[in-house]
């Protein structure tokens, strides 16, 4: 593959410095990490409410992200353990149907069940790449994951209560977070609306994630899954499920999560963060400054497009001047899942930068640059998502091998003018 | 605290509505809210606080319409100085 331009190497190095400083600030959580999750796997942007970003190097090759590696973005602190630990006794209200009522999780589990694979991605994933420094967690690529969700369709739930009343246009779900006293509920409540047509088409109330009970940190006992839509719509700890005439009047719906120009306040006139556009990025090898042995390697990453699925992914080593087709691998889990892609190639010694560009099943191709917007939402530009790093040759000690017999390389160094794999990094290693 | 931060402390304690301490913990202000981030833990920089106050972040409302630019600067300065 062609060599890299100096400009992009310098840009990537600058980006790495920014990331490094971010990691230093949030190098450890002040609170105990949620069950199964460790700080080795995540960048801790915030510990109350949790904002945990999966490190790029921690994404696997499988199209499913395990719960231990799945990002967390909570808008408010979770409900108390005494509330979320009730399991099958969890109760939620249903309204906007011919009959209003309530259901427990136990009753839900006796209804017809579906399993769907769907990507969850925070609206602000990629915010770190926007040059205008929008406020909020500075997510890079890791505020996203793909899981199998088990639950009951919203359409079946509404049908159980006689079907949706005439004149309803939205599915509105309300989270069960405890709200503070002394503050207008509408200001902070997590309540989101999506078009009712979407809600009745494929939305689910789920209680399993990848075959295991949905953990509290991911919204258990029950959360909404809106396949193909940005994470905020997938309301956790659902206490109310309603068909409504209008969108929720909560701030998070009316003015929050609205795609608008820089400097403008959000409002109903701006598009809501609903369907996720086509996007891809590379996860390896070499993410998070891990060294790459020069020579034959397999580049890999993920691609998705809400409700559409992926038809092709291309890779480039010269920042988009030339492209090579990547191979889609693993099972196709449907239009809302992500696909892993790979390309075997030879990586020369030195600094490198690779980019990926996905095309979805309707022909939409990932753009080079994201559309600037005030809050730094929806970044899907391929250029900013470049995978950068260094590759080197050999090992300094022949005996240095892993348990599998593979060469061990802790970092690339440059003692004699040629990048070599070295075993001990001088100075502090992040 | 600097004079600007002292002025910001008054905003934190009394003027901003809803009050900052409803959601945030900040030892210097004897505030114990647990809805938003613990500011002592977060130890945000000036740009981050200024931006969060003016624009809002996630569930946090924007205060740009109720506080002047000088007040936002004072409040941000207070949060930064009180968490260093």
Euclidean distance between CA atoms A203 and A306, whole angstroms: 13
Rounded to a whole number, what is the distance in Å from the CA of B3 to chain A's nearest CA?
26
Q: Is B41 on the interface with A (CB under 8 A)?
A: yes
Return residues 60-79 of B near A (CB < 8 Å).
Answer: 61-62, 64
> Which of B37, B42, B61 is the closest to A251 by Cβ?
B61
The verdict on a CB contact (< 8 Å) between B37 and A48 is yes
The verdict on a CB contact (< 8 Å) between B18 and A76 is no
The verdict on a CB contact (< 8 Å) between A47 and B41 is yes
Rounded to a whole number, what is the distance in Å from the CA of B26 to chain A's nearest CA?
13
Summarize the confidence of residues A150-172 as an average pLDDT: 98
The verdict on a CB contact (< 8 Å) between B55 and A375 is yes
A75 interaction partners in chain B (CB closer than 8 Å): 58-59
The verdict on a CB contact (< 8 Å) between B34 and A46 is no
Rounded to a whole number, what is the distance in Å from the CA of A256 to chain B's nearest CA?
7
> Which of B18, B41, B57 is the closest to A136 by Cβ?
B57
Determine the residue of chain A that is closest to B56 in CA distance: A135
Strand partners, A280: A303
Tell me: the pLDDT tens digits for A416-427? 778 888 776 544
pLDDT above 60 (res A429) = no
* 3-class secondary-structure state, position B48: helix
Rounded to a whole number, what is the distance in Å from the CA of A187 to chain B's nearest CA?
7
* pLDDT confidence of residue A403: 56
Rounded to the nearest integer, the mean pLDDT of chain A is: 88
Summarize the confidence of residues A164-172 as an average pLDDT: 98
Q: Are the C-beta atoms of A206 and A150 separated by less than 8 Å? A: yes
DSSP per position, A83-151: HHTTGGG-EEEEESBSS-EEEEHHHHTTS--EEEEEEEE-TTTTGGG-TT--SS----S-SEEEEEEEE
* Exposed/middle/buried for residue A138 (C-beta within 10 Å: 0-12, 13-18, 19+): buried
Which of B55, B56, B58 to mutate against chain A (most A CBs within 10 Å)?
B58
DSSP per position, A10-31: HHHHHHHHHHHHHHHHTSS-SS
pLDDT above 80 (res A401) = no
Q: Has the ipTM of the complex gone over 0.90? A: no
The verdict on a CB contact (< 8 Å) between A183 and B38 is no
* pLDDT confidence of residue A240: 98
Return the sign of the alpha-carbon dihedral for residues A197, A200, A201, A202: positive
> Which of B41, B51, B59 is the closest to A30 by Cβ?
B41
CA torsion angle for A222, A228, A233, A239 (degrees, to 10)? -20
Tell me: the pLDDT tens digits for A21-59? 333 233 344 579 998 999 999 999 888 788 999 999 999
Tell me: the pLDDT tens digits for B55-64? 888 778 788 8
pLDDT above 90 (res B65) = no
Tell me: the pLDDT tens digits for B3-35? 999 999 999 998 888 889 988 999 999 998 888
B55 interaction partners in chain A (CB closer than 8 Å): 134-135, 374-375
> Which of A25, A134, A188 is the closest to B59 by Cβ?
A188
Euclidean distance between CA atoms A29 and A35, whole angstroms: 13
Per-residue pLDDT band for A430 (boundaries 50, 70, 90) equals: very low
Q: Are the C-beta atoms of A196 and B31 separated by less than 8 Å? A: no
């Amino acid at each position: 593959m062609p060599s890299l331009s100096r400009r992009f190497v310098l840009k990537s190095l600058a980006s790495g410095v920014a990331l490094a400083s971010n990691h230093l600030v949030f190098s450890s959580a002040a609170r105990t990490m949620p069950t199964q999750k460790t700080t080795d796997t995540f960048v801790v942007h915030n510990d109350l409410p949790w904002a945990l970003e999966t490190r790029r190097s921690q994404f696997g090759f499988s199209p499913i992200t395990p719960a231990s590696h799945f990002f967390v973005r909570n808008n408010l602190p979770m409900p108390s353990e005494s509330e979320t630990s009730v399991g099958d006794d969890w109760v939620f209200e249903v309204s906007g149907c011919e009959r209003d009522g309530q259901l427990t999780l136990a009753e839900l589990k006796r209804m017809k069940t579906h399993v769907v694979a769907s990507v969850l991605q925070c609206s602000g994933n990629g915010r770190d790449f926007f040059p205008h420094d929008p406020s909020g967690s500075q997510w890079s690529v890791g505020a996203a994951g793909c899981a199998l969700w088990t639950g009951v369709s919203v359409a079946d739930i509404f049908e159980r209560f006689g079907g949706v009343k005439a004149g309803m246009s939205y599915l509105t779900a309300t989270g069960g977070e405890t709200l503070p006293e002394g503050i207008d509920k509408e200001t902070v409540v997590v309540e989101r609306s999506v078009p009712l047509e979407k809600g009745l088409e494929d939305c689910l109330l789920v209680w399993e994630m990848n075959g295991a009970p949905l953990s509290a940190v991911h919204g258990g006992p029950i959360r909404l899954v809106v396949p193909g839509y940005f994470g905020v719509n997938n309301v956790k700890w659902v206490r109310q499920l309603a068909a409504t005439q209008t969108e929720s009047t909560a701030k998070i719906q009316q003015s929050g999560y609205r795609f608008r120009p820089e400097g403008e306040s959000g409002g109903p006139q701006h598009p809501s963060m609903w369907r996720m556009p086509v996007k891809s990025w590379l996860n390896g090898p070499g993410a998070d400054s891990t060294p790459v042995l020069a020579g034959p390697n397999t580049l890999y990453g993920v691609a998705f497009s809400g409700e559409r699925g992926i038809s092709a992914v291309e890779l480039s080593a010269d920042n988009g001047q030339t492209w090579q087709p990547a191979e889609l691998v693993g099972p196709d889990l449907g239009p809302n899942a992500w696909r892993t892609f790979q390309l075997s190639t030879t990586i020369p010694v030195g600094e490198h930068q690779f980019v990926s560009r996905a095309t979805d099943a309707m022909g939409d191709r990932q753009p080079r640059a994201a559309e600037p917007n005030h809050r730094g939402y929806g970044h899907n530009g391929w250029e900013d998502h470049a995978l950068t790093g260094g590759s080197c040759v050999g090992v300094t000690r022949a005996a240095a091998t892993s348990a599998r017999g593979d060469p061990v390389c802790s970092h690339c160094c440059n003692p004699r003018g040629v990048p070599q794999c070295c075993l001990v990094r001088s100075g502090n290693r992040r | 605290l600097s004079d600007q931060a002292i002025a910001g402390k008054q905003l934190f304690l009394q003027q901003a509505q809803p009050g900052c301490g409803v959601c945030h913990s900040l030892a210097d202000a004897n505030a114990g809210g647990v809805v938003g981030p613990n500011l002592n833990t977060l130890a945000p920089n000036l740009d981050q606080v200024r931006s969060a106050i003016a624009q809002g972040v996630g569930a946090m409302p924007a205060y740009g319409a109720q506080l002047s630019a000088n007040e936002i600067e004072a409040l941000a300065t207070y949060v930064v100085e009180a968490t260093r």
